[in-house]
Amino acid sequence: MKTTTRSIRALKGVRPIVCLTAYDAITARLASEGGADLILVGDSVGNAVLGMPDTVGVTLDMMLHHTAAVVRAKPDPVVIGDLPFALAHDSFSKVLGYCRRFLQEAGAQGVKIEGGTRLAPTIAKLVDAGIPVMGHVGMLPQRVHTTGYRRRGLTAEDQAMVLQDARAIEAAGAFAMVLECVDEKLVSAITSQVKIPTIGIGSGQNCDGQILVIHDLLGFTANPPPFAHPEANLHRSAVTALQRWAKKVRTPKTSR
Ligand code: KIV
């Protein structure tokens, strides 16, 4: 059954929420048949698929292209598109225009926006305009060139900042929020204090749900992050299958 941003929000306190990234029709079908509740077309498409070192080079046009491919697979999980690097800091009319393109051109049902307190007023206006928004606080990969990839909530001062971000995103009307690489104790505090689902990645088990990059989970990536715990090694299976076929092609017909 098709999920919605409202049904995802209603799952808080009912059961853990399963989220996966997908970037094309094939991974969308896998995520849907694999039982995901929500598909995020993440800007992790940059690292996972496009051979980029990080997500900074991912553009709006790339995101719309991949989001539309996911939507064309007609997956059951609600599809959320990721607003790429720095666009959320444009003027509100431009941000509204970008988000409108995700819903109208690519067919997504909502957008995800990386950032906390500073972006809360923008998120509140987007929600007011009818755009469902998923927040993303904690480690923000789009800020790799300013903060690096650092775990969050390790000092009392940083804990206060992340908690403030989470509260601001909830107050702005987001339907859920990603907590990326946040200290587990802080995750428990945030999850019990906010009324919207917290979706963790590298943040332990105390969130309302989990999200992983599908390529990490399926074993397509060479160096998955330590928290990913791949459930398959599809890279090895694919290489074995391809080598088997290459051998067949190279074997003279007479000796087959
Ligand atoms: O871009 C992405 O895939 C993400 C998730 C990993 C949360 O932001």
* Residues 162 and 203: beta-carbon distance below 8 Å: no
Band (223; pLDDT cuts 50, 70, 90): confident
Overall pTM > 0.85: yes
Band (222; pLDDT cuts 50, 70, 90): confident
Which atom number of ligand 1 is nearest to the Cα of residue 112? Answer: 8
In whole angstroms, give the CA distance from residue 25 to residue 29. Answer: 6
pLDDT in tens, 126-147: 999 999 999 999 999 999 999 9
How many angstroms separate the alpha carbon of residue 14 from the centre of ligand 1? 24
Domain ranges of the chain: 5-250
Decide whether any atom of ligand 1 lies within 6 Å of the 42 Cβ: yes
Nearest Cα neighbor of 140 from 80, 88, 77 is 88
pLDDT for res 119: 98
Q: What angle, 0 to 180 degrees and rounded to 10, lies between the N-to-C axes of helices 92-104 and 60-72?
A: 30
pLDDT for res 256: 62
Report which residue type is found at 47: N
Catalytic residue among 33, 157, 180, 231: 180
pLDDT in tens, 49-76: 999 999 999 999 999 999 999 999 999 9
Average pLDDT over residues 224-251: 96
Decide whether any atom of ligand 1 lies within 6 Å of the 207 Cβ: no
Average pLDDT over residues 153-175: 98
How many angstroms separate the alpha carbon of residue 42 from the centre of ligand 1? 5
pLDDT in tens, 32-43: 999 999 999 999
pLDDT for res 181: 98
* Residues 189 and 163: beta-carbon distance below 8 Å: yes
Of all protein residues, the one whose alpha carbon is nearest to atom 8 of ligand 1 is: 42
Decide whether any atom of ligand 1 lies within 6 Å of the 44 Cβ: yes
Residue 241: Cβ-neighbour burial (10 angstroms; 0-12, 13-18, 19+): exposed
- Whether residue 170 lies in the annotated active site: no
Give, rounded to a whole angstrom, the gap between the first and last alpha carbons of the chain. 48
Per-chain mean pLDDT for the chain:
97
> With 90 as the cut, is the pLDDT of residue 208 above it?
yes
Decide whether any atom of ligand 1 lies within 6 Å of the 28 Cβ: no
How many angstroms separate the alpha carbon of residue 93 from the centre of ligand 1? 25
Does the domain spanning 5-250 belong to CATH 3.20.20.60? yes
Average pLDDT over residues 96-107: 98
